[in-house]
Amino acid sequence: MTAVSETEQLRYISQQAADARVNVEIETEGMTLNLGPQHPATHGTLRIIAKLDGEQVVAAEPVMGYMHRGYEKLAEVRTYPQVTTLVNRIDWVGSFANETPFILAAEKLMEIEAPPRAQYIRTILHEMSRIANVILGIGDMGVQVGAVTPIFFAFRDREYVLNQIEAVTGGRFHPNFDRIGGLKDDLPAGWIQNTKNAMEKVREFCDQIEELMYGNEIFQARTRGIGIIPADIGLSYGLSGVNIRGSGVDWDVRRDATPHGLVYDKADWKVWTHPDGDSYSRMWVRLQEVREGTKIVDQLLDDIPSGPIMAKVPRIIKVPAGEAYVETENPLGVMGYYVISKGDLNPFRVKIRSASFNNVSITPWLLKGVYVPDIITILGSLYFILGDIDR
C-alpha cells in the first residue's frame, strides 16, 4: 500500500509544481544538503540530510540523538516522585503535560485516585500547558514560512499563560507540580479570575493570528496541498494528536479514552478535524485546538469542586508490582508511559512513548519529492520539540 500512495504523492507533486519542473530534465549534479544540527529551521538539534536534485528532495533522512538524555534509563534509578522532575524536560514547552501521564500510571498501579479538586486542577493545568505549547508552535510556523511577526505575538500572549502556571506551580518552564495522589499545592487566591483573563487574551491571539497568518494568501499558497499525509499512512506511522486529526481522523484521547484522573468529560468541547491532511490543515486544527483549550479551562474553572487536593498516600511511595500503560493527549500528540514496577521505590522499567518521535518518523516518507523550502514548512507544520524526540 505504501508504494501506491508514494507514487500518488509524487504524481501529485509533479502536477502541482509543473511550472517549476522544467529544469528537472536537465542533468544537474546531485547535491547533498545538510540541514542542521545547527540550523535555524530545525528549532533544536535535529539534523536532516537531504539529497537534492536541483531544489527537489530525492531522499531525506533525519538524524537525531544530539540531545538524547536517556530518561528511560535514568528513571530506573529514581524514585517515583523524582521521575516527574525528569519527564518535565521531555517537552519543555508544555512541561506539565509530561508529568500527568506518568503520575496517572503510578496512581493506576497503586490503585489510588486523586481527589476531585486535584483532578480538576490537573486537567486545567494540562490544558494550559497545551495552550502555552501550541501558541508557540503557531508562531513558530510563521517563522518557518518567513514571517517574523507572529512569533513575537506568540511569545507575548504565551506570557499570560506562563504567568498563571507560574503563579500556581512556582515554575514557568518546569512546574514539577504533579504528585502521586494529587498536587503539591492548592490554587493561590485570585488565580481563577486571572486565568480567565489570560484565556481571553489567548482567544484574542487566536483571532489575530487567524487574520494575520492563516488568512494570508502566501501562507495558504505555502501550506495548502503541501506535505499531505493520508490517514492510513499516518496511523501506521503512529502519528497522533493534531497531526493525525489534520488528516481527518477523528480521534482524541481526551474524548475517546480519557485516563482515569482527568475530567475532560466534565466540560463541553469539540474535537476538530480537517480532511485535507496537508500542512495548512494541521496548523488550522492546531489553532482550533487552542480555542477549545481555552473553553475547557474556562468551564472547568467555573466548577472546580472544593475539598482536599491530596489523597492519602504513604510518605515513602512504594508502587506495587505490575504493569500499566497510561496515555494522554499532550500538546504534541499522544504521550504514554508504560511503567513496570516490581514493588520498589523506583520503577523497574519506564517506556516513554513520546509523540514527536512517531510524528517525525514519517519525514523520510513525507519529504520525498518536495522542494527545499517545503521541508521547512512541513517540519514546521508537524511541530515537534527536540526533547520529545530524543528523550
Partner 1 sequence: MSGWIDTFFDSYWGPTGLRTLGGLVAVLLPAGALVYIYLFKLMSFVQSRIGPMEAGPQGSLQLLAEVGKAFQKEDIFPRKADKIVFALAPFVVLMSTFLLVLVVPFGPDAWFVNLDTGIYFALAVSSVSVIGILMAGWASASKYSLLGGLRAAGQLIAYELPLVLAVMGVVIQAGTLNMQDIVLAQAEGEIFGWGGIGNPFILTQFVGFAIFLIAMQAELTQPPFDMPVAESELVSGYMTEYSGVRFLLFFIGEFATAGVFAMIASVLFLGGWWVPGIDPDSNLFNIVGPAVMFGKVLFVTLLIFWFRFTYPRFREDQLQRLCWKFLIPISLLNIVVTGVLKVVF
Partner 2 sequence: MSDETAVAETDEAEIVEVDEAREALLSELTSELADGLVESHVRAGDDLWIRVHRDAWVDAGMTLKQMDFGYFSFLSAIDWLPSPFGRDMNSQVDLTLTPSEDADDEAEAEPMETGVAGGETRFQVFARVNDITTGRAVTLKADLPDDDLNVGTWIPVYPGANWHEREAREMYGINFVGHPNPRNLYLPGDFQGHPMRKDYALLSRRIKPWPGIVDVEPMPGDDDEGDDS
Partner 3 sequence: MTLLAQVASDFNELTSSEVDIAQNIAFGMIAAVMLFSAFRTVTTANVVHAALYLVIVLAGVAALFILLGSDFVGATQVLVYIGAIIVLFLFGIMLTKARLGDDESVESERRGMGALVGILLLVVMGYALVDTFENAELTFGEPEPIAYVPTEVTVGDVPTPVLEALPDVFAGLGDDDEVTISQADFDSLVPEVQRRVPGAEVFGNNKQIADSIFSQYIVPFEAVSVLLLAALIGAIVVARKE
Residues that bind partner 3 (CB under 8 A): 22, 25, 28-29
Question: Residue 189 interacts with partner 2 (CB under 8 A)?
Answer: no
Identified binder of partner 2 from the candidate list 133, 346, 356, 381, rule CB under 8 A: 346
Helix (H) / strand (E) element for 65: namely none
Question: Residue 327 interacts with partner 2 (CB under 8 A)?
Answer: yes
Instruction: State in Å, rounded, how far the first CA of the chain is from the last one.
Output: 31
Minimum CB separation from partner 2 for residue 21, in Å? 27
CA angle centred on 158, ends 154 and 287, rounded to 5°: 60
Q: Could you say which of partner 2, partner 1, partner 3, none residue 29 binds, taking C-beta under 5 to 8 angstroms by partner kind?
A: partner 3
Half-sphere exposure of residue 170, counting CA atoms within 13 Å on the CB side? 7
- Alpha-carbon span 55 to 59, nearest angstrom: 12
Retrieve residue 37's grid coordinates. Answer: 544540527
Q: Could you say which of partner 2, partner 1, partner 3, none residue 15 binds, taking C-beta under 5 to 8 angstroms by partner kind?
A: none
Contacts of 184 (CB under 8 A, 6+ apart): 169, 176, 177, 178
Question: Residue 375 interacts with partner 1 (CB under 8 A)?
Answer: yes
Closest CA to 91 of 364, 329, 376: 329
Binding mask 11-50 for partner 1 (x = CB under 8 A): ------x-xx----------x-xx----xxx---------
Q: Could you say which of partner 2, partner 3, partner 1, none residue 367 binds, taking C-beta under 5 to 8 angstroms by partner kind?
A: none
Question: Residue 310 interacts with partner 2 (CB under 8 A)?
Answer: yes
3-state secondary structure of 35: strand
* 254, 262 contact by CB (below 8 A): yes
- Residues making contact with partner 2 (CB under 8 A): 2, 64-65, 68, 70, 72-74, 76-79, 81, 110-112, 179, 181-182, 184-186, 232-233, 235-239, 249, 251, 256-257, 308-310, 312-316, 318, 320-325, 327, 334, 336, 338, 340, 342-346, 349, 351, 353, 357-358, 361-362, 365, 390
